Chains A and B, each alone.
Chain A
Amino acid sequence: MTAVPLPYRVLDNRPETADTHTIVLRPVGTALPPFSPGQFAMVYAFGVGEIPVSVAGTHHGDLTHTIRGVGAVSRALCAARPGTRVGVRGPFGTGWDLEAAVGRDLLVVAGGLGLAPLRPLVRAAASQPRDHGRLNVLIGARTPGDLLYREEWQDWGRPYCQVTVDQPAPGWRGRVGVVTALLDQAAFAPHRTTAFVCGPEVMIRATARALLHRGVPARHIRVSLERNMHCATGHCGHCQLGPLLLCRDGPVVGYDRAEPLLAVREL
C-alpha cells in the first residue's frame, strides 16, 4: 500500500454499457502490491480528482476497473484513451476472503455494477473448482443493456449462472424480476454456504434477509458496502459506518456486523 499515487497508463478502454467503461491499467514503473478480490484502489485522474474504484480484475500487475461515469472523475476515467496516465493507490480494504470459504458452496449475488468487484472472485472460484462446493452466480440488472461482462459468462464455465432484469427490452428472452427471486432455483446447502453479495444497499439487505431465512448464517454472508471514501487509510473518517471505517474495516464485512449498522437510520 502506498500513500502516493503510482503512475499507471491506460492500456485498454472498452465500453461495457451506455455509461460504464472497463479500463485496464498497466504500471509505468513499479507496480502496486497484489490486490485481492474485493479490495479497491484510489484512482487519480490528474487535474480532476481521485475516486475509490473496486478491482474488477488483475493480471501480472495490470489492474482492471469497471467504472460508471456519474461524476467529474469517473467521467474523466471513462473517457481516458489508451496511453493516458493516471495515478493509483492501493490495495485498500478487506477482500472477499475466498480462502475462508474452502469446502463450502459459494453463492455470488450481484446487482448492477456490483458485479465488478465480484468478477475476480468468480474467476478465482471457477478456476479452482476442487476447493469449493457448488458455485452459483446470480445477477440482477436494470435492463439487458446494463448487464456487464456478458461475453465472459461462458468462460466462467462451471457456475450455475442466472440473470434477471428489472426492465426487459424487446427481444429479451431471460428472466424479469428482482435478483432475490433467483435464489429459489440456485442449488446450495444453506448451512455450508458462503454468500458474497454486492449491489445497492437495499438489494444487499433484501438478499441477506432472504439468505438468513433460508438458513445461511449471517457471518457467512459477506457483503460489500460503499461509503464516501477519501483517504482510504482510515484517518479522515469520511467512510465511517458506526464503529467501522469502511476503507479499512471494509468494504467487505460479514452481515453479522453489517446488519445492525444498516438498520440505523442516521448512519
Chain B
Amino acid sequence: MTRAGVLAALPEGPRERLMAVGRETSFEAGTRIFEEGGRADRFWVIHTGNVNLDVHVPGRHPAVIETLGPGRMLGWSWLCPPHEWHLGAEATSLVRAWEFEAAEVLDLCQDDPELDHALLSYVVGVIGSRLRAARTRLLDLYGPYGSGSAG
C-alpha cells in the first residue's frame, strides 16, 4: 500500500489503528460512488485512479467540480451534520481505494484522542485546501485579464 495523503499525514500509531478498520475496495470507471444528498456514512483514501466530484444540474450532465487522484481523501461530509454528501462522485478510471466506515472510525476516535486529533486536523486541512482552490478558481486567473483589470 502506498502511504500518501492522509495515510502519510498521520503519525504511525494513529495511522495503524485507522488502517485496522479500513478495507480495500475498487470501482470500475464510470461507477457512481455516491450521490449528492445521499447518506455520508463512509470515506475513502484513493490509492490509484481518479474520481470526479460533481454537482447535479437538472436536465444536464453533472457539472464536474474537481478531480481527486491518488493519495487524496474522498468524502468529508461524514464528519459533520447533516451527514449528507453535498456533491456526487464518479470514478473516471479504475479506482482502488481504502474504504472506512464513518461510524467505526468515529467510535475509534472517541476512545483514541491522538487519532481523533490527527484525523480531524487532516480533514480540516483537506477542507481548507479545497476552499482555497475553489476561491482561486473564482478569480478566473486564466481569463484574458487575469484576476482583474489594472488599477
Q: Which of B136, B144, B145 contacts A178 (CB 8 A)?
A: B136
- How far, in angstroms, from A164 to B146 measured CA to CA in the complex? 17
Provide the A79-113 mask, 1 if CB < 8 A to any CB of B, else 0.
00000000000000000000000000000000111
Stretch among A3-11, A35-43, A117-125, A139-147 lining the B interface = A139-147
Residues of the A chain whose Cβ atoms lie less than 8 Å from the Cβ of B133? 177-178, 180-181
Q: Which of B72, B139, B142 contacts A112 (CB 8 A)?
A: B142
Give the contacts of A172-196 with B (CB-CB under 8 A). 172-178, 180-181, 184-185
Give the contacts of B47-76 with A (CB-CB under 8 A). 50, 52, 61, 63-67, 69-72
Stretch among A47-55, A199-207, A236-244 lining the B interface = A199-207
- Name the distance in Å between B36's Cβ and chain A's nearest Cβ: 16
Judging by beta carbons under 8 Å apart, are B141 and A199 in contact?
yes
Closest to A182 in B: B69
- CB of B31 closer than 8 Å to a CB of A: no
Provide the A19-34 mask, 1 if CB < 8 A to any CB of B, else 0.
1000000000000000
Size of chain A's interface in residues, with CB distance under 8 A?
A: 31
Size of chain B's interface in residues, with CB distance under 8 A?
A: 28
Residues of the B chain whose Cβ atoms lie less than 8 Å from the Cβ of A140? 142
- CB of A168 closer than 8 Å to a CB of B: yes
Judging by beta carbons under 8 Å apart, are B70 and A70 in contact?
no
> Which of B63, B141, B146 neighbours the largest number of chain A CB atoms within 10 Å of its CB?
B141
Provide the A141-173 mask, 1 if CB < 8 A to any CB of B, else 0.
110001000000000000000001010101011
Contact A199 to B142, CB < 8 A, known contacts A173-B92, A176-B52, A176-B64: yes
Closest to A71 in B: B144
- How far, in angstroms, from A116 to B137 measured CA to CA in the complex? 21
B residues whose Cβ falls under 8 Å from a Cβ of A: 4-5, 50, 52, 61, 63-67, 69-72, 92, 132-133, 136-137, 139-147
A residues whose Cβ falls under 8 Å from a Cβ of B: 19, 68, 70, 111-113, 140-142, 146, 164, 166, 168, 170, 172-178, 180-181, 184-185, 199-203, 206
A-B contact pairs, 10 of them (CB 8 A): A70-B144, A70-B145, A142-B141, A166-B142, A173-B92, A181-B69, A184-B70, A185-B70, A200-B141, A201-B146
